[in-house]
Structure 1
Amino acid sequence: MKKSYLLILVSMFTLSMSQAQHKQVPMFVGTYTSEQGSKGIYSYLFNLETGDAEVQSEVESTSPSFLARTDKFLVAVNEVNDGSQSLSSFNLQDDILTFENKLSTKGGSPCHVMLGDKGRYAVVSNYSGGSLALYSMDENGHINAMDDYKEFTGSSVNSKRQEKPHIHSAFLGPDKAVYVSDLGTDKIYVFNVVQEAGKYQFMEKAVIAAPAGGGPRHLAFHPNGKTMYSLQELTGDVVVYRAKKGNWEQVQVISMNDAGFQGENGAADIKVSADGKYLYSSNRVDANTISTFAIQKDGQLVLKQVLPVEGKGPRNFNFSPNGKFVLVGNQLTDEIVVFNRDAKSGELSDSGKRIPVSKPVCIIF
């Protein structure tokens, strides 16, 4: 009887520990580094029920501003413009990062990285370099080589910000092509990534025009693959495109600001909720807000909420894996603000939870 009771207690304790662990998931934060501030990439355990975060480790790396990961490794762009700009890779074992290797990005100020083909290639966007770099990776995260490199040309109507190409991001589309936003020329380039003679190569598929002076920065796709949303950094607009006969047709341009907003925009990030019902976007400079849009049946947007981010310089934001929270990295006020998310209405509210970190730029789970 005693032995049976003991077994029950052990089983209950094991189950309790397992449930507690499942409530906590690894989270990684990329930053801009400085002598008195951040030293690199920070890893946390994030509690999916409470919104609390516990720091686990700090890995030194120079301004690892944007991150991407698989289950086995994490990559980060070192966003500098002094000749040492690079793509760094880290092994990821038991949620602990160990440096693997790095290669030059060639172009200056790499600001975004994405992984494709189940992590077998990486695409880096060089902002000031106006270029795109394509790397082959092995399954454990070693960067093998820069297989392809593409420089862009052109300009647009804003002489201060669009004097030349500024490649800002690359995202994988529903057609498995890579969609590249060029803030400097108001264009979205679409490339297939193909393998030739054992190397990955860019193959241009299409060029999509964005409104003049908008400055496309990031984009997001609806889960059904039929609608694309392009965030315009310079105007604070979201441009909606619908797939039609193999092309993307512009169907709506909508502001992420309240009607009375008069200041300067610095739109930063855009994401669609997993259920495809809501879209969110962040805006910096004079706005410092995060906006919620309801997505209609035809993919078009209705602005529902414009909420202060309780700080300055909101960059990347992300949903917690269960969709219960939205975490906003406020670069200029050195903290991540955790917002509650109402899954039914899509609206956000301040949870009161804060994660202190110097110059947060990117948050991934």
Structure 2
Amino acid sequence: MKKTCLIILISMMTAHLTHAQNQLVPMFVGTYTSEGGSRGIYSYLFDQVTGNSDLISEVETPSPSFLARTDKFLVAVNESGDGNQSISSFNLADETLTFENKVSTKGGAPCHVLLGDNGRYAVVSNYSGGSLALYSIDENGHISEMDDYREFKGSSVDPKRQTKSHIHSAFMGPDKSIYVSDLGADMIYVFDVVKDGTKYQFKEKELITVTKGGGPRHIAFHPKGKTMYSLQELTGDIVVFNKEKNGWKQSQIINMITAEFEGQHGAADLKISPDGKFLYSTNRADANTVSVFAIKKDGSLELKQLVSALGTGPRNLNLTPNGKFVLVANQVTDQIVVFARDAKTGLLTDHGRRIVLSKPVCIIF
């Protein structure tokens, strides 16, 4: 009897400890730095039950506008166009960042970084440079010199934004290929990343075109792997593709805003809920909104809610790991807004919490 009670007590203590650990999760925020403003990357502990957050540390690094991480290290692009553009690596010990090393991205204005092969390589998208850079990374997060580099020469119909290639992001697909969005050319390039001796190399696989003038920026894949969503920065459209034997076939184009909207779009980011039932996206410029879409069984989208971002310049957004909250980084008004999310309906409400921070642009957990 005593042994049984002891086992039950240990089980209860273990369950309580697991719950406490799951309740508080590390969160990292990248910013645009400035004199008198933010200094770099900010680390928080976010409470997935209450929506509260506590600042743990900050590390100084110039304009870390996009972040990616493993359990052991974090990488950030330092978005600059003055010759100082780079990718930086930081060790993660007890969720505290310690600088490891930095290397040049060669192309100007690096705006996105992807980690692949369990963190053994990084792919950097250079926006103004119109290029893609590939690096090997060791198990401690040390970045080696560049393994491969691709520069793109494209253009499209927008006379201001599409006079040349602008590589905006590279996302990992369900097939383990990387999908590269060229805002300037209205193209999505698909590459395999293969090991050639001791180095990684890009291997061309597929070319996907989107509607002219759309300006593809970010991509999200449905958890089932059969549907791809391409966010168009210039038009505020989301283009839906379904996977077929011969590649990806466009099946829908839906706008993030209602038909009554008049103004300029600045679509920025999109994420899918953990259950695969809802898609969330942000729109800047004259909109400053968050859109909520229901995802139907065939992968198509239906607009369910359009809410104010409660700030200006909603850049990146992210869902907490448990899906209870959606956080939106309002770059221009210097704060992250915490929205509560109804798991059944997908709808958002203002949770009332704000994280005040100069020019937040990227949120990861």
TM-score range with shorter-chain normalisation?
over 0.9
**Equivalent position of 1:102 in the other structure:** 102
Amino acid at match of 1:319: L
Are 1:281 and 1:291, in contact at CA under 8 Å, matched by a contact in 2? yes
**Equivalent position of 2:75 in the other structure:** 75
**Deviation sequence 1:159-181 (CA, Å, 0-9, x none):** 10001000000000000000000
C-alpha distance in structure 1 between counterparts of 2:202 and 2:259, whole Å: 41
**Equivalent position of 2:206 in the other structure:** 206
**Equivalent position of 1:25 in the other structure:** 25
> Any idea what SS the aligned residue of 1:264 has?
coil
Which deviates further from its counterpart, 8-17 or 288-297? 8-17
C-alpha distance in structure 2 between counterparts of 1:335 and 1:259, whole Å: 29
Amino acid at match of 2:73: F
State how 1:1-365 maps to structure 2 within 5 Å: 19-365=19-365
For residue 20 of structure 1, report the CA deviation from its aligned partner.
3.7
Amino acid at match of 1:88: S
RMSD (CA atoms): 1.6
Amino acid at match of 2:361: V
| 1:155–1:273 Cα change, 3 Å | same
C-alpha distance in structure 2 between counterparts of 1:10 and 1:252, whole Å: 53
**Equivalent position of 1:5 in the other structure:** none
% identical aligned pairs: 70
> Any idea what SS the aligned residue of 2:224 has?
coil
**Equivalent position of 2:5 in the other structure:** none
C-alpha distance in structure 2 between counterparts of 1:276 and 1:13, whole Å: 32
C-alpha distance in structure 1 between counterparts of 2:198 and 2:151, whole Å: 22
Q: Give the total of aligned pairs.
A: 358
**Deviation sequence 1:91-147 (CA, Å, 0-9, x none):** 001000000001000000000001000000000000000000000000110001210
Are 1:218 and 1:269, in contact at CA under 8 Å, matched by a contact in 2? yes
C-alpha distance in structure 2 between counterparts of 1:17 and 1:272, whole Å: 29
Amino acid at match of 2:74: L
| 1:191–1:17 Cα change, 3 Å | closer
C-alpha distance in structure 2 between counterparts of 1:203 and 1:78, whole Å: 26
Amino acid at match of 1:210: V
Amino acid at match of 2:35: E
Are 1:153 and 1:165, in contact at CA under 8 Å, matched by a contact in 2? yes
| 1:99–1:302 Cα change, 3 Å | same
C-alpha distance in structure 1 between counterparts of 2:9 and 2:202, whole Å: 59
Are 1:137 and 1:145, in contact at CA under 8 Å, matched by a contact in 2? no
**Deviation sequence 1:272-330 (CA, Å, 0-9, x none):** 11111111110001000010111111111111111101000001100001000000000
Amino acid at match of 1:75: V
C-alpha distance in structure 2 between counterparts of 1:349 and 1:208, whole Å: 36
Amino acid at match of 1:123: V
Are 1:229 and 1:240, in contact at CA under 8 Å, matched by a contact in 2? yes
| 1:252–1:11 Cα change, 3 Å | closer
| 1:21–1:247 Cα change, 3 Å | closer
Are 1:130 and 1:164, in contact at CA under 8 Å, matched by a contact in 2? yes
For residue 16 of structure 1, report the CA deviation from its aligned partner.
6.1
**Equivalent position of 1:3 in the other structure:** none
Amino acid at match of 2:64: P
For residue 75 of structure 1, report the CA deviation from its aligned partner.
0.1
**Deviation sequence 1:152-208 (CA, Å, 0-9, x none):** 001000010001000000000000000000000000000000011211000010110
> Any idea what SS the aligned residue of 2:22 has?
helix
Are 1:124 and 1:133, in contact at CA under 8 Å, matched by a contact in 2? yes
Amino acid at match of 1:260: E
TM-score w.r.t. the length of structure 2 is 0.95
C-alpha distance in structure 1 between counterparts of 2:259 and 2:90, whole Å: 45
Are 1:43 and 1:57, in contact at CA under 8 Å, matched by a contact in 2? yes
| 1:140–1:209 Cα change, 3 Å | same
C-alpha distance in structure 2 between counterparts of 1:319 and 1:173, whole Å: 19
C-alpha distance in structure 1 between counterparts of 2:13 and 2:201, whole Å: 53
**Equivalent position of 2:4 in the other structure:** none
For residue 21 of structure 1, report the CA deviation from its aligned partner.
4.1
